């Protein structure tokens, strides 16, 4: 196998044994980018010069015997993370020329761990979308089928890992934006507990829902990335001061005597038949590994999409009010006065989906409608969280499909926002409840499209997710399959 096809832990072993250099690894990754990026379009901008400089420093560290968790490992970054001195756009025209004066906390942690940055990955504009079709910089393609979407909003990050254009990547998950593209691109994607990973330097979409997490080629790599990313950050008021376990210690533990909850509301008519078959096989594998699967109920599931599409746009309406052409980003030219400058900047700078959500959110927060919409949605959100709290008294983790269908064709749902929103029907509830979730490959559709299963656990129980996900990975035997580009 080529170096760019290996995992973090496989490359770490080679670096420790001085079989390869960090520069060798970076060269292999950029050779792959040169070969396939024209087809996939996973990146908005590459950081090639910076990557080779970081790799050279990593090789010096290795010579001196200093190898950290990610020394010399090429990592791709969703273009929603502030990177000091390097353009950060959120895939929007309004930020097409924005260069942050500081690094996000996660970027600082990755640097401290020795990571090498390959570039900023494509995404739905301001993370608003499920298909990476709303990007100002063009559409990302699914490496398994180039006529299909990679999922969203972190589609570029998922596609880059699936296409071996990096070794791992970072995404953000507001309503499924890590887990859904991970499932559709056949990689591992984790959305940590809200407050487990610092959001400082993450450009906000919906502040009570956003969370950063990793995309990786296998579950052990996910554990390695979480060891680096997780932890308290005083710069983030929502960060929780809790000890972080060694997530790698959960690898290769069994799940004997575990109880796995199967929510009846997630196994309904309308799910693609091949997704349902893959899930039934996954349940059998989990039971064969020693767990007991029981039916549970999450009775407020039917309200999740409605609640999410009030709360998320409302918070987006507030967060995106800062993009007015005054301090940074795009400013419309030839405006007669300040009011016209505001109007033209926002109408020209934002895409259709972002404007749609700003209008929905502004309406939900407006005088006379706040109680009927935002307040009511917040109350139902509390009931959704309570559903999960009660469910976890009956089971260790919950197993469900990540998506209702495999990847759909590019353009198939762009004219039907409601159908697009329903793509996240199985992932939204996790963000509303603030709990962690991980998507793991569990099968393939007849056309060779990946299918993902997601495991959900109680707050700050990412270790349980690593544990059961590693069991499924070893029993499903899917790691050897990769897209043919």
**CATH code for the domain of 241:** 3.90.1300.10
Range of the domain at 34: 3-249
Per-residue model confidence (pLDDT) at position 415: 85
Q: Are residues 38 and 130 in the same domain?
A: yes
Are the CB atoms for 105 and 170 separated by under 8 Å?
no
Return d(Cα 79, Cα 356) in angstroms, integer.
21
Name the active-site residue from 21, 28, 78, 169: 78
Q: Are residues 109 and 174 in the same domain?
A: yes
Q: Are residues 224 and 157 in the same domain?
A: yes
Q: Are residues 242 and 306 in the same domain?
A: no
Name the active-site residue from 135, 154, 157, 177: 177
Return d(Cα 397, Cα 122) in angstroms, integer.
32
Q: Are residues 193 and 313 in the same domain?
A: no
Q: Are residues 243 and 309 in the same domain?
A: no
Domain contains 457? no
Domain contains 341? yes
Domain contains 391? no
Among candidate residues 379, 402, 419, the one where a domain is terminated: 379
Q: Are residues 235 and 308 in the same domain?
A: no
pLDDT by 10s per residue, the chain, length 485:
899 999 999 999 999 999 999 999 999 999 999 999 999 999 999 999 999 999 999 999 999 999 999 999 999 999 999 999 999 999 999 999 999 999 999 999 999 999 999 999 999 999 999 999 999 999 999 999 999 999 999 999 999 999 999 999 999 999 999 999 999 999 999 999 999 999 999 999 999 999 999 999 999 999 999 999 999 999 999 999 999 999 999 999 999 999 999 999 999 888 999 999 999 999 999 999 999 999 999 999 999 999 999 999 999 999 999 999 998 899 998 899 999 999 999 999 999 999 999 999 999 999 889 999 999 999 999 999 999 999 999 999 999 999 999 999 999 998 888 788 878 899 999 999 999 999 999 999 988 999 999 999 999 999 999 999 999 999 999 988 999 99
Domain contains 17? yes
Domain contains 63? yes
pTM: 0.97
- Is position 153 annotated as part of the catalytic site? yes
Among candidate residues 249, 265, 289, the one where a domain is terminated: 249
Among candidate residues 327, 352, 379, the one where a domain is terminated: 379
Name the active-site residue from 21, 135, 153, 423: 153
Q: Are residues 323 and 244 in the same domain?
A: no
Phi and psi at 150, nearest 5°, equal: -95, 0
Per-residue model confidence (pLDDT) at position 178: 98
The domain total for the chain is: 2
Per-residue model confidence (pLDDT) at position 479: 85
Q: Are residues 320 and 211 in the same domain?
A: no
The burial of 439, by beta-carbon neighbours within 10 Å (0-12 exposed, 13-18 middle, 19 or more buried), is given as buried
Domain contains 292? no
The H-or-E segment that residue 365 falls in is helix 352-365
Q: Are residues 221 and 346 in the same domain?
A: no
Domain contains 397? no
- E strand intervals along 137-183: 168-172
Work out the angle at residue 216's Cα, subtended by the Cα atoms of residues 26 and 139, and round it to the nearest 5 degrees.
80
Q: Are residues 146 and 85 in the same domain?
A: yes
Q: Are residues 129 and 243 in the same domain?
A: yes
Chain centroid to Cα 153, Å, comes to 8
Domain contains 392? no
């Amino acid at each position: 196998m080529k170096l760019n096809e290996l995992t973090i832990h496989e490359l770490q072993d080679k670096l420790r044994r001085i079989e390869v250099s960090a520069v060798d690894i970076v060269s292999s990754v950029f050779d792959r980018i040169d070969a396939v990026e024209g087809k996939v379009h996973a990146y908005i901008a590459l950081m090639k010069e910076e990557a080779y400089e970081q790799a050279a420093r990593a090789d010096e560290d290795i010579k001196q015997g200093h190898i950290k968790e990610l020394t010399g490992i090429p990592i791709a970054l969703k273009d929603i993370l502030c990177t000091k001195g390097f353009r950060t756009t959120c895939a929007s025209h309004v930020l097409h020329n924005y260069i942050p004066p500081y690094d996000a906390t996660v970027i600082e942690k990755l640097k401290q761990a020795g990571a090498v940055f390959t570039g900023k990955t494509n995404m739905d504009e301001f993370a608003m979308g499920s298909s990476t079709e709303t990007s100002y910089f063009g559409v990302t393609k699914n490496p398994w089928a180039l006529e299909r979407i990679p999922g969203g909003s972190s589609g570029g990050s998922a596609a880059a890992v699936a296409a071996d254009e990096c070794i791992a990547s970072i995404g953000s998950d507001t309503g499924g934006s890590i887990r859904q593209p991970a499932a559709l691109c056949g990689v591992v994607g984790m959305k940590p507990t809200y407050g487990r990973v610092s959001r400082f330097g993450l450009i906000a979409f919906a502040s009570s829902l956003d969370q950063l997490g990793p995309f990786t080629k296998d579950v052990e790599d996910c554990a390695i990335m979480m060891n680096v990313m997780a932890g308290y950050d005083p710069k983030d008021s929502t960060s929780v001061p809790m000890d972080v376990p060694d997530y790698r210690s959960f690898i290769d533990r069994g799940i004997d005597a575990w109880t796995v909850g199967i929510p009846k509301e997630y196994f309904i008519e309308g799910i693609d038949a091949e997704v349902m078959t893959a899930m039934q096989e996954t349940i059998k594998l989990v039971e064969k590994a020693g767990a007991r699967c029981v039916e549970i109920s999450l009775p407020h599931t039917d309200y999740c999409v409605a609640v999410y599409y009030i709360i998320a746009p409302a918070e987006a309406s507030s967060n995106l009010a800062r993009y007015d052409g005054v301090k940074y980003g795009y400013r419309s030219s030839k405006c007669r006065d300040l009011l016209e400058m505001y109007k033209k900047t926002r109408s020209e700078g934002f895409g259709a989906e972002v404007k749609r959500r700003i209008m929905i959110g502004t309406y939900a927060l407006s005088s006379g409608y706040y109680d009927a919409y935002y307040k009511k949605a917040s109350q139902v959100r509390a009931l959704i969280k309570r559903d999960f709290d009660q469910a976890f008294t009956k089971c260790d983790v919950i197993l469900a499909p990540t998506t209702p269908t495999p990847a759909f064709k590019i353009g198939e749902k762009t004219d039907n926002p409601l159908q697009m929103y329903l793509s996240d029907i199985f992932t939204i509830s996790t963000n509303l409840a603030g709990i962690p979730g991980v998507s793991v490959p569990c099968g393939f559709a007849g056309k060779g499209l990946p299918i993902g299963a997601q495991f959900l656990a109680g707050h700050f129980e990412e270790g349980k997710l690593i544990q059961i996900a590693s069991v499924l990975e070893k029993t499903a035997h899917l790691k050897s399959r990769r897209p043919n580009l």
